[in-house]
Amino acid sequence: MHVGAAGGGLVRRAGRRNSGLAPETGAARTRRARAIARRLARRYPHPEIPLHHSSPFQLLIATILSAQSTDAQVNLVTPGLFQRYRTPADFANARREELEQAIHSTGFFRAKTRAIQNASRMLVERFGGEVPRTLEELVQLDGVGRKTANVVLCKFGVPGIVVDTHVRRLSRRMALTAHDDPDKIEQDLMAVIPRADWCAFSLRLIYFGREVCDARRPQCPSCQVRDLCPSARYGGFPPWMAAHRAGRNGRAGRAGAGLARAAGPASGRIAGRASGRIGRGLTAERRPRGVPSGASGRRER
């Protein structure tokens, strides 16, 4: 992939909209993004999906469970869960209360149970009990948005950018996107990272976000990509993300409020039924119930 006119335009917009961020040509940003990708590849040569699974279906279920939970918590639950329920039909026909009990510790268990059973029913009824291999089909499943769909597609060897909470934060800090909306971030990263590297690059950002570029304590002084990251000079808290931070803290000005609205309550079929918001999925940081995720209003983030 390459940055075309759209990519260059986005870069110029980034320079205008985000104070403190110098304009950068599309070509320069692509070069920088790929240099970052190479460094991360040296640090994480063979990144693995952090959710334990042994089939695309198990990965689908685990990713649904990981919304507003931690991967470690999900990995504690899934061995017993997958021993008890093996197929989409097993999940679809499970007693709701039993399934709720089995996944209780991952949080939002009622909404997740509903999503898992609805998705499993749809797999049985529409897809012959198999997990489909296209994004268009996957996002028809309850509880599945682009992020979960791309995780599953990666399992099938189909390239996709997975925008979870870490990818979202790091791509903004690294100024690889001017956007806050996960779908737009996905497009921006697709434009600068070679297609074959989309899955691995996403996973590397996720691991790097956990280990180095932490949400609250980014380790800029010792960071391997600090010379390629415009946020290094701001200690990881650049001014172009300030409106977003203010919005999430309820102190947004007009622009921040707009961002907050865009981030807004998670709305879709899972989150809309949950008592709070369940939105972030793979590798999300745990949040207390009712605390806005700050993610987009789409159903899983």
Task: Select from 140, 133, 148, 161 the least CA-distant residue to 60.
Answer: 148
CB of 214 to ligand SF4, least distance (A): 8
- Contact region with ligand SF4 (CB under 6 A), list: 53-61, 126-134, 216-224, 242-250: 216-224
Confirm whether 181 is a catalytic residue.
no
CB atoms within 10 A of CB 270: 29
Q: Can residue 225 be called a binding residue for ligand SF4 (CB under 6 A)?
A: yes
What phi and psi, each to the nearest 5 degrees, are found at residue 218? -65, 140
Q: Which of 71, 112, 142, 147 is catalytic?
A: 147
By CB under 6 A, the residues from 14 to 53 that bind ligand SF4 are none
State the Cα–Cα distance between residues 107 and 117, nearest whole angstrom. 16
By CB under 6 A, the residues from 260 to 289 that bind ligand SF4 are none
- Contact region with ligand SF4 (CB under 6 A), list: 61-69, 101-109, 220-228, 247-255: 220-228
Instruction: Say how many residues touch ligand SF4, by CB under 6 A.
Output: 14
Q: Which of residues 56 and 236 has its CB atom nearest to ligand SF4 in the complex?
A: 236
Per-residue mark of binding to ligand SF4, 227-266 (x: CB under 6 A)? --x-xx---x------------------------------
Which position among 219, 262, 264, 297 is part of the footprint of ligand SF4 (CB under 6 A)? 219
Per-residue mark of binding to ligand SF4, 154-183 (x: CB under 6 A)? -------------------xx---------
- Torsional class of 235: left (φ above 0), alpha (ψ -120 to 50), beta (otherwise): left
| Helix axes 56-65 and 109-127, enclosed angle (nearest 10) | 150
> What is residue 219's three-state secondary structure?
coil
The CA dihedral of 285, 172, 195, 160, to the nearest 10 degrees, is 30
Say which amino acid occupies 170: L
The CA dihedral of 184, 69, 64, 280, to the nearest 10 degrees, is -10
State the Cα–Cα distance between residues 50 and 210, nearest whole angstrom. 12
CB of 174 to ligand SF4, least distance (A): 6
Q: Which of residues 53 and 204 has its CB atom nearest to ligand SF4 in the complex?
A: 204
Active-site positions? 147, 164
Q: Which residues bind ligand SF4 (CB under 6 A)?
A: 173-174, 212-213, 218-220, 223, 225-226, 229, 231-232, 236
